[in-house]
Amino acid sequence: MSVTAEIPTQDLEARLSPGALVTDRDVIDSYASDKALFCPAGQALALVRARTVDDVVAVMSFATQHHIPVVTQGARTGLSGAANAVDGGLLLNVAAMDQVLEIDEVNQTCRVQPGVINQDLKTALAEHGLAYPPDPGSVAISTIGGNVATNAGGMCCVKYGVTKDYVRAMTVVLADGTVTKLGRPTAKGVAGLDLAALFVGSEGTLGTIVEVTLALKPALTQPITAVGIFPDTASAGRTVTEYMGSGANLSMLEFIDGPSVAMINAYGDFGLPDDVGALLLVQSDAKGAGAMEELEAFRRVAESNGGSEVFVSDDPADSQMLVAARRAVAPAMEKYAHTRGGGELVDDVCVPRSALGEFFERLALIDARFDVEVATAGHAGDGNMHPSVVFDAGDEAQVSQAQEAFAAIMQLGLDLGGTITGEHGVGFLKREWLGRELDAGARLMHTQIKNALDPLGILNPGKMFGV
Amino acid sequence: MSVTAEIPTQDLEARLSPGALVTDRDVIDSYASDKALFCPAGQALALVRARTVDDVVAVMSFATQHHIPVVTQGARTGLSGAANAVDGGLLLNVAAMDQVLEIDEVNQTCRVQPGVINQDLKTALAEHGLAYPPDPGSVAISTIGGNVATNAGGMCCVKYGVTKDYVRAMTVVLADGTVTKLGRPTAKGVAGLDLAALFVGSEGTLGTIVEVTLALKPALTQPITAVGIFPDTASAGRTVTEYMGSGANLSMLEFIDGPSVAMINAYGDFGLPDDVGALLLVQSDAKGAGAMEELEAFRRVAESNGGSEVFVSDDPADSQMLVAARRAVAPAMEKYAHTRGGGELVDDVCVPRSALGEFFERLALIDARFDVEVATAGHAGDGNMHPSVVFDAGDEAQVSQAQEAFAAIMQLGLDLGGTITGEHGVGFLKREWLGRELDAGARLMHTQIKNALDPLGILNPGKMFGV
**Among partner residues A150, A419, A430, which is closest to B184 by beta-carbon distance?**
A419
Q: Is pLDDT at B124 greater than 70 in this prediction?
A: yes
- Establish whether domains A100-218 and A224-415 are of one fold: no
Q: How many CB atoms lie within 10 A of CB A450?
A: 20
Q: Say yes or no: A453 contacts chain B, CB-CB below 8 A.
A: yes
Mean pLDDT, to the nearest integer, of A173-199?
98
Three-class secondary structure assignment of A407-450: HHHHHHHHHCCCECCCCCCCCCCCHHHHHHHCCHHHHHHHHHHH
Strand partners, B72: B92
Residues of A in contact with B206 (CB under 8 A): 193
- Contact at CB, A151 and B289, closer than 8 angstroms: no
The beta-strand segments (E) located in A340-383 are 342-346, 349-350, 373-379
A192 contacts B441? CB cut-off 8 A:
no
Length, in residues, of chain B: 467
Cβ within 8 Å, pair A430-B108 = no
CA distances from B380 to B237, B297, B366 (A): 8, 17, 19
Task: Provide the pLDDT for residue B33.
Answer: 97
Least Cα distance to B255 among B130, B347, B386 occurs for B386
Q: What is the dihedral of CA A446, A447, A452, A453, to 10 degrees?
A: 60
| Chain B residues whose beta carbon lies within 8 Å of the beta carbon of residue A422 | 186, 188-190
Q: How far is B9 from chain A (nearest CA, A)?
A: 27
pLDDT in the model for residue A5:
56
- Cα–Cα nearest to A147, from A173, A126, A165: A165
A181 at interface of B, judged by CB pairs closer than 8 A: yes
Does A446 reach chain B within 8 Å, measured CB to CB? yes
Gyration radius of chain A over CA positions: 22
Closest in A106, A161, A200 to B354, CB measured? A106
Contact B441 A179 (CB under 8 A): yes
Q: What is the CATH number of domain B1-220+430-467?
A: 3.30.465.10
Q: Does A467 touch chain B (CB under 8 A)?
A: no
Say if residue B5's pLDDT is above 60.
no
Kindly determine whether residue A426 and residue B192, on different chains, have CB atoms separated by under 8 Å.
Answer: yes
Q: A350, B187: Cβ pair inside 8 Å? A: yes
Residue B159 pLDDT class (50, 70, 90 cuts) = very high
Q: Are A149 and A72 in contact (CB under 8 A)?
A: yes
* Mean of pLDDT values over A9-28: 97
Residue contact B187–A247, C-beta within 8 A = no
Whether B110 shows a pLDDT value over 50: the answer reads yes
Residue A38's nearest CA partner among A100, A81, A96, A68 is: A81
Q: How many residues does chain A have?
A: 467
Query: Is residue A156 within 8 Å of residue A133, measured between CB atoms?
Result: yes
Can you tell me the distance from the alpha carbon of B127 to that of B130, in angstroms, rounded to the nearest whole number?
A: 7
The region that residue B76 occupies, defined by phi over 0 for left and psi between -120 and 50 for alpha, beta otherwise, is left
Instruction: Give B210-236 pLDDT, tens digit per residue.
Output: 999 999 999 999 999 999 999 999 999
Q: Is the pLDDT of residue B467 over 70?
A: no
Chain A residues with CB-CB distance to B248 below 8 A? 218
> Is B128 part of the contact surface with chain A (CB cutoff 8 Å)?
no
Distance from the Cα of residue B440 to its chain's centroid? 26
Q: Which residues in chain A touch residue B350, judged by CB atoms under 8 angstroms apart?
A: 186-189
Q: Which of A111, A106, A105, A97 is nearest to A184 (CA)?
A: A111
Chain A residues with CB-CB distance to B242 below 8 A? 106
**ipTM tops 0.90:** yes
What's chain B's average pLDDT? 95
Q: For domain B224-415, give the CATH number.
A: 3.40.462.40
- State whether residue A127 sits within 8 Å of chain B by CB: no
Mind telling me how many Å the CA of B395 is from chain A's nearest CA? 31
Q: Is B99 on the interface with A (CB under 8 A)?
A: no
| pLDDT digits 0-9 by tens, A115-152 | 999 999 999 999 999 999 999 999 999 999 999 999 99
Cβ neighbours of residue B5 under 8 Å, at least 6 residues apart? none
Q: Which of residues 14-53 of A touch B (CB under 8 A)?
A: none
Judged by a CB distance cut-off of 8 A, whether residue A137 touches chain B is no
Sign of the dihedral through C-alpha A295, A298, A304, A310: negative
pLDDT of amino acid A38: 86
Residue A287 near chain B (CB below 8 Å): yes
Section B61-86 average pLDDT:
98
Give the tens place of pLDDT for each residue, B168-217. 999 999 999 999 999 999 999 999 999 999 999 999 999 999 999 999 99
B400: which residues sit within 8 A by CB, 6+ positions away? none
Q: Which class in CATH covers the domain with range A100-218?
A: alpha beta
Mean pLDDT of the region B116-137: 97
Q: Does domain A4-93 have CATH number 3.30.43.10?
A: yes
Flag if A422 and B150 touch (Cβ within 8 Å): no
A–B interface: beta-carbon pairs under 8 A:
286
Q: Is B451 on the interface with A (CB under 8 A)?
A: yes
Determine the average pLDDT of the residues in B300-309. Answer: 96
Alpha-carbon dihedral B434, B440, B442, B443, rounded to 10 degrees? 50
Are B427 and B378 contacting, i.e. CB atoms less than 8 angstroms apart? no
Which pairs count as long-range contacts for B54-58, CB under 8 Å and 24+ apart, including other chains? B54/B15, B54/B17, B55/B16, B55/B17, B55/B20, B56/B92, B56/B94, B56/B173, B56/B208, B56/B210, B57/B173, B57/B177, B57/B179, B58/B12, B58/B15, B58/B16, B58/B177
Which site among A243, A445, A465 would you substitute to test the B interface, given the most B Cβ atoms closer than 10 Å to its Cβ?
Answer: A445
Asked if the C-beta of B125 comes within 8 angstroms of chain A's C-beta atoms, the answer is no
Strand partners, B281: B227, B254
Q: Write down the domain spans for chain A.
A: 4-93, 100-218, 224-415
B61 Cβ under 8 Å from any chain A Cβ: no
* Residues B122, B120: Cα–Cα separation, whole Å: 5
Give the model confidence (pLDDT) of A417-450 as tens digits: 999 999 999 999 999 999 999 999 999 999 999 9
- For residue range B17-71, list pLDDT tens digits in order: 999 999 999 999 999 999 998 899 999 999 999 999 999 999 999 999 999 999 9
B127 touches chain A (CB under 8 A): no
pLDDT reading at B333 higher than 70: yes
> Can you give the pLDDT at residue A1?
42
* Per-residue model confidence as pLDDT tens digits over B353-370: 999 999 999 999 999 999
Contact status of B252 with chain A (Cβ, < 8 Å) = no
C-beta separation of B429 from B368 below 8 A: no
Chain-wide mean pLDDT for chain A?
A: 95
Nearest to A286 among B287, B417, B442 (CB): B287
CA-CA distance, A442 to B192, in Å (whole number)? Answer: 9
Q: Is residue B6 scored above 90 in pLDDT? A: no
Which residues of chain A neighbour B195 with C-beta distances below 8 Å? 198, 442, 445-446, 449
Give dist(CA A252, CA A281) in Å, integer: 7
pLDDT tens per residue across span A187-242: 999 999 999 999 999 999 999 999 999 999 999 999 999 999 999 999 999 999 99
Neighbouring residues of B211: CB distance < 8 A, sequence distance ≥ 6: B53, B101, B111, B112, B113, B114, B170, B171
Q: How far apart are CA A324 and CA A372, in angstroms?
A: 27
- Return all residues near A207 (Cβ < 8 A) that are at least 6 apart: A172, A173, A174, A175, A199, A453, A454, A459
Give B426's contacts in chain A (Cβ within 8 Å): 190-192
Q: 3-state DSSP call for residue B398?
A: helix
Contacts of A141 (CB under 8 A, 6+ apart): A75, A77, A117, A119
Residue of A nearest to B463 (CA): A192
Q: Taking residues A338-352, report their average pLDDT.
A: 95
A85-101 residue pLDDT tens: 999 999 999 999 999 99
Facing residue for B188 by CB, picked from A206, A245, A382: A382
Probe site for chain A from B188, B415, B420 (most A CB atoms < 10 A) = B188
Residue A466: pLDDT band by 50, 70, 90 thresholds?
Answer: low
* Residue of B179, B163, B160 whose CA lies nearest to B171: B179
